Amino acid sequence: MSEKMNMSPIFNPEGDDSVAARRIIKGHTTGLFNLNITKYSWAKSLYQVMIGNFWVPEKVSGLKDDARMFQMELSPEEQRAYKGILSFLIFLDSIQTVNLPHLSDYITSPEVNLILAIQAYQEAIHSQSYATVLESVVESKERDEIYYFWRTDSVLLERNKYIGQIYENFIQDKTDENFFRAIVANFLLESIYFYNGFAFFDTLVDKMKMLATGRVIAYIRRDELTHVTIFANIIREIHLEFPEIYNEEIIKEMMGKAVEQEIEWSTHILGERIPGMNGQTTQDYTQWLANNRLAMLGISPLYPSAVTSPYKHLERLQDTNGDKSNFFESTVVNYTQSSSMNGSWDF
């Protein structure tokens, strides 16, 4: 029977903050944020990157141009995909903003708690960003329809219920297994669930459509990649420190389900009339991505035949040394405050 998890006390005078005693979960710390004593060096590196990646949607120009283009140049299928994908992305970042503190309460490493707090802030910025996009691009009478698209779309409703229930299971029954499933669900959400949607917006950008929306998505994707790395590291630390909790079969089972749902939803919302995207490319891309994400955890591919991405234009758009640098490199990659971080949190 799976053991119960205990929430870390806010202040524990009997705690031990030494590196030797520190654990990713189930530790016995004082509750003090002593960041001069750290065990997980990857958390320091991510802190520097995440703080350097600070951005706000108000800095993104051109959304008025997107509004005109949305009405005049996008096909009905592209408009439907644009709205449906935004609806799913809004749900993902909303649920992350609310759920992350529930998990952080059980992480017993202050350096990891710190970056989880930054992640929660970034998820809130993402929610604000989607609101800014909707307010700028979509007519007001359609905005509620996008926020609540799951009320009329059964495929989206089932997706939302699945991930939401995993989080709710842990909140209601805080066992080791439910905690591990919630951590894996975070990894899958950050590493799989966003990316066919991102690929759609990048495909529009490749055709010089909806460029401002593309810039917003590029900032969000940059943040999400750090979130993927956070949870990959947490899972690896649990594997190392608590092998009795780590369960590779759960990871593979949940990854398989995530891939199945991502293919079903993306095929449903994209259809077969988005130039450059179809059911086969969706399947190939999702399976290829799943293999890459599993490799981050040292797990063999679930889909051995999926060895390359079908979307070569995504690599071109994101290659900061390539001929598309006028889009990504000059706006997203270079929009960073990293230089201001020199010397901070120096240990």
With 0-12 / 13-18 / 19 or more C-beta atoms within 10 angstroms meaning exposed / middle / buried, residue 347 is: exposed
Strand partners, 274: 277
> What phi and psi values does residue 177 have, to the nearest 5 degrees?
-65, -45
**What Rg, from alpha-carbon coordinates, does the chain have?**
21
Out of 82, 106, 130, 193, the active site residue is 130
Range 144-148 contact pairs with CB under 8 angstroms and sequence separation of 24 or more: 145/83, 146/83, 146/84, 146/86, 146/87, 146/90, 147/87, 147/90, 148/87
> Does 130 qualify as catalytic in the annotation?
yes
Give the active site residues: 130
